[in-house]
Amino acid sequence: QVTLKESGPGILQPSQTLSLTCTFSGFSLSTYGMGVGWIRQPSGKGLEWLANIWWDDDKYYNPSLKNRLTISKDTSNNQAFLKITNVDTADTATYYCARELPGMDAWGQGASVTVSS
Amino acid sequence: DIQMTQSPASLSASLGETVTIECRTSEDIYSNLAWYHQKPGNSPQLLIYDANSLADGVPSRFSGSGSGTQYSLKINSLQSEDVASYFCQQYNNYPYTFGAGTKLELK
């Protein structure tokens, strides 16, 4: 059974760095073809793809976030990470991680992040 | 970026009815398209990948079709548990992009 769970700070202030962790089980990011992606969703709004990382350490980012994103992984501990620098109120959202196969076939429950002064 | 135009934005249908949701892309995505639904308070769930392949555990009343720039999701014999928002997503080009969503309600 594939499961993923996001964790994050909950609340942070503008200009801080958001650090998110995705802890997963049921698959390995060292397996050929596996990937983990990050997606966010402001309350009541649509989905925005942010970044993904693959078994071979290839990484892809959404250029709309202008180099604020860094994705990484710890294969031995079954974790993936996302950092977003210089956050502001527009980054307030629920952040999801998902396994990518193609299609995102398993999602975490989401981590709610609020940016507020 | 590939633009995703999803229609309709909202849809009201009766139990047992067949509904269709459309997704048009700004360029050919070679069937690299997925459909998800998201029930209130829950995470999105994969329904269809590669435009027409049913994801594991998804009821066969869901089906996907299309090619090039035009894709559709069909739900046969609508059930109460199908009330949700539906999203299409392309994964042919980076950045991946999603449709704006279709909110499906019961009439």
Give the whole-angstrom CA distance, residue B74 versus residue B94.
27
Q: Which residue of A has its CA nearest to B51?
A: A103
Pairing of strands A104-107, B4-7: unpaired
User: What's the gap in Å between the CA of B89 and the closest CA on chain A?
Assistant: 8
Tell which of B46, B48, B71, B90 to mutate to test the A interface (max A CBs under 10 Å): B46
Convert the pLDDT of each residue in A81-94 to its tens digit. 999 999 999 999 99
- Dihedral sign for Cα atoms in the order B22, B52, B65, B70: positive
Give the per-residue pLDDT at B45: 98
Instruction: State the amino acid at position A101 in one-letter form.
Output: L
User: Could you tell me the end-to-end alpha-carbon distance of chain A, in angstroms, rounded to an integer?
Assistant: 40
Whether residue A97 contacts residue A81, with contact meaning beta carbons closer than 8 Å, is answered with no
Q: How confident is the model at residue A102 (pLDDT cuts 50, 70, 90)?
A: confident
Average pLDDT rounded to a whole number, residues B8-30: 98
Cα distances (angstroms) measured from residue A85 to each of A14, A64, A69, A90, B67? 10, 14, 7, 13, 38
Give the per-residue pLDDT at A22: 98
Convert the pLDDT of each residue in A38-84 to its tens digit. 999 999 999 999 999 999 999 999 999 979 999 999 999 999 999 99
Whether residue A5 contacts residue A23, with contact meaning beta carbons closer than 8 Å, is answered with yes
Convert the pLDDT of each residue in B46-80 to its tens digit. 999 999 999 999 999 999 999 999 999 999 999 99
Convert the pLDDT of each residue in A5-18 to its tens digit. 999 999 999 999 99
Q: Which residue of B has its CA nearest to A59?
A: B94
> Residue A64: its chain B contacts at CB < 8 A?
1, 95
Contact status of B49 with chain A (Cβ, < 8 Å): yes
User: What's the gap in Å between the CA of A35 and the closest CA on chain B?
Assistant: 13
Pairing of strands A18-25, A69-74: unpaired
